[in-house]
Structure 1
């Protein structure tokens, strides 16, 4: 591989010149760069930022603007500069009730609530910087998986054994569903809660999706149109009304406000040959567009029509997602998206669309771009240094146009740096390399070496200009004028 730093000046100059002189023609309504470029993240490294544990299970922003990270070994508070950690202390009744943090919730007063995996619930007292515990023995189960707050100062708590309500006075009321209810005991294994703007409580459990109306205690199960009684693991408010929900093995779904009678619509997150993703978290990143945080499949971006793209960890790309095991997503008040995963926390700004950077090639983990060309049909030809050429169509379809093969020196690119591209006949290219001149055919699917009738038949060609059928070639030994029709070369050198 060629050192990318060697290419910086050349590639930048070629890119700016190419973009300034030749407009890229994308298909109407298609931004091919946002499709091809990876989503860029900034990483909060657990080692550098002193996380209590690298495995972060939940994220929340409190009323003061602090970011809180619940991990498998304690709770961290991030102020933008440094982390302060909180842990369970058997000798301190005002410490965390346990260190394995399952969920975090900020109520309408801006207070932080902490749900643990086996040690119950606690509220952070920010005035005294301590925790006020809710006695684990009074909850249906000390395993707290979900929390939602209402306008009255009360708290809905989803546990492994039923739904509880903690009123403003701290009294706990149980709303366990009878075993004869739809879903049986699985309906009491609560995984997600959401109180929507209309006051409807949405409940995700191992038995599926249910809702509790504002008036009365009745809880109705919501059937999806496929009739799959799958576990619902995550919920997000839909600004259009109702909710978006994530499942264990059936993708995501959209449920309207009247879902108890109208049902819900499922949206598969499995491409052909892929299994369905386990959706642990959901957030709307920009209006009408959601991210699904999955266990093992990274982040899946989707809208009401279907999948937009998959966002995954790419080992060769330092700014990619740190881990594909994503436990939680959170969009803060500034619009920044926080992604909790098994390697800490990543952040992404959806509004930062000034530049799109493509880091890899088709079948290549990383690339250095050394030359560009747009052909008559609007395809962008990208020279990948010594790794060949990729072709990007206006509709963002991308393919490996040409790759080097030292065993076919006359009919394949050399394994050396490509320095220049210019269109030959429509949709074909002249290619200048460190090892001579090449010409394509078959709309860029084939290539042949073009030895020059010159004392140096395979010169280093750093630039190409086509004028009136002739090629002007810039080489270290001077300027060459090549006539492909007559197969003649005339050399021009500095000096008398």
Structure 2
């Protein structure tokens, strides 16, 4: 069509040092400096779009300054330009391109049984890492909190996205919405009709695109959501499978009953365990509780 440019194919070429290290692209990210990070099955690449230069980081058994695993599944870059790379068996490498320093982190069981598929930087500089459950990595000390969100223990986490001061979590059992205290407000799963849930139950990607709403990617297609404001559901004794969202609309890792949610669908009751998004958020919640009748 007029005005359109033909796409440029970029593939691995052993004869070109500026080509990607692999062709199986697992994740892509553009950082605050405009650099494009590409995670592949053979390492990670940072493309400097201004200088047309490529920094490739590969694994090597002969050097501790290389990746601990060649399969890079996720990438996140903090405000200082340091990259967190999600690898297999619960491993995370922290790379500082400015100094060349590389730190290797190891999550604890049961995170070691999964790849780190999701990394989410937080406003305080820390990073959430999703594998089986969610860990939290301190932005300065790199100290790891193994179970940062108790409500997600045992969940296979594929995607993480901020939802105001809360969180959206893509898992093998659907998408969860959490408040700032880490309580599960709702779980979306595959619905019996196109408008009653996600296209498929395992959720692999979540992206918030401004006025276009929240987009959710699954193995069976994508879905867009206009998420309502967060509020607690009114308890109901109805068991799972009797709500309009279908028989698998609210499978959880616990025996909690289903709770009807405004706007259709169902969700699990909020958990008592919280993780605290920020001190300001905790103070706001304390004031609301104190003023409640």
* TM-score exceeds 0.5: yes
Counterpart Cα distance in 1 of 2:30 and 2:188: 33
1:89 to partner: Cα distance: 2.2
Q: 1:145 aligns with which of 114, 117, 122?
A: 117
Question: Against the structure 1 CA distance between its residues 166 and 257, is the aligned structure 2 distance closer, same or farther, given a 3 Å change threshold?
Answer: farther
Question: Against the structure 1 CA distance between its residues 52 and 178, is the aligned structure 2 distance closer, same or farther, given a 3 Å change threshold?
Answer: closer
Counterpart Cα distance in 2 of 1:64 and 1:135: 28
**Which of the two has higher C-alpha Rg?**
1
| Aligned counterpart, 2:257 | none
Question: Against the structure 1 CA distance between its residues 139 and 104, is the aligned structure 2 distance closer, same or farther, given a 3 Å change threshold?
Answer: farther
Counterpart Cα distance in 2 of 1:57 and 1:178: 24
| Aligned counterpart, 2:6 | 40
**Which runs of 5 or more residues in structure 2 are unaligned?**
190-194, 234-244, 246-293
| Aligned counterpart, 1:382 | none
Is 2:208–2:214's contact at 8 Å kept on the other side of the alignment?
yes
- Correspondence 1:141-290 to 2 at 5 A: 141=112, 143-159=115-131, 161-168=132-139, 169=141, 170-174=143-147, 175-177=149-151, 188-196=155-163, 198-214=164-180, 216-223=181-188, 225-227=195-197, 230-240=201-211, 243-258=214-229
Between structures 1 and 2, the one with greater strand share: 1
**Which runs of 5 or more residues in structure 1 are unaligned?**
1-32, 180-184, 267-496
Counterpart Cα distance in 2 of 1:137 and 1:163: 11
Question: Against the structure 1 CA distance between its residues 117 and 54, is the aligned structure 2 distance closer, same or farther, given a 3 Å change threshold?
Answer: same
Give me the TM-score of the superposition, normalised by structure 1.
0.40
Is 1:193–1:235's contact at 8 Å kept on the other side of the alignment?
yes
Computed over aligned residues only, the root mean square deviation of the Cα atoms, in angstroms, reads 3.0
- Correspondence 1:76-475 to 2 at 5 A: 76-80=45-49, 81-118=52-89, 120-137=91-108, 140-141=111-112, 143-159=115-131, 161-168=132-139, 169=141, 170-174=143-147, 175-177=149-151, 188-196=155-163, 198-214=164-180, 216-223=181-188, 225-227=195-197, 230-240=201-211, 243-258=214-229
Counterpart Cα distance in 2 of 1:190 and 1:119: 12
Counterpart Cα distance in 2 of 1:227 and 1:46: 38
Is 2:39–2:72's contact at 8 Å kept on the other side of the alignment?
yes
SS in 1 for 2:211: coil
Deviation digits for residues 335-383 of structure 1 (CA, Å, limit 9, x no counterpart): xxxxxxxxxxxxxxxxxxxxxxxxxxxxxxxxxxxxxxxxxxxxxxxxx
Number of equivalences: 219
Question: Against the structure 1 CA distance between its residues 112 and 178, is the aligned structure 2 distance closer, same or farther, given a 3 Å change threshold?
Answer: closer
Counterpart Cα distance in 2 of 1:39 and 1:53: 25
Q: 2:44 aligns with which of 55, 67, 75?
A: 75
Give me the TM-score of the superposition, normalised by structure 2.
0.64
Q: Which structure's relative contact order is higher, taking Cα pairs within 8 Å and 6+ residues apart? A: 1
Counterpart Cα distance in 2 of 1:178 and 1:144: 15
Question: Against the structure 1 CA distance between its residues 39 and 206, is the aligned structure 2 distance closer, same or farther, given a 3 Å change threshold?
Answer: farther
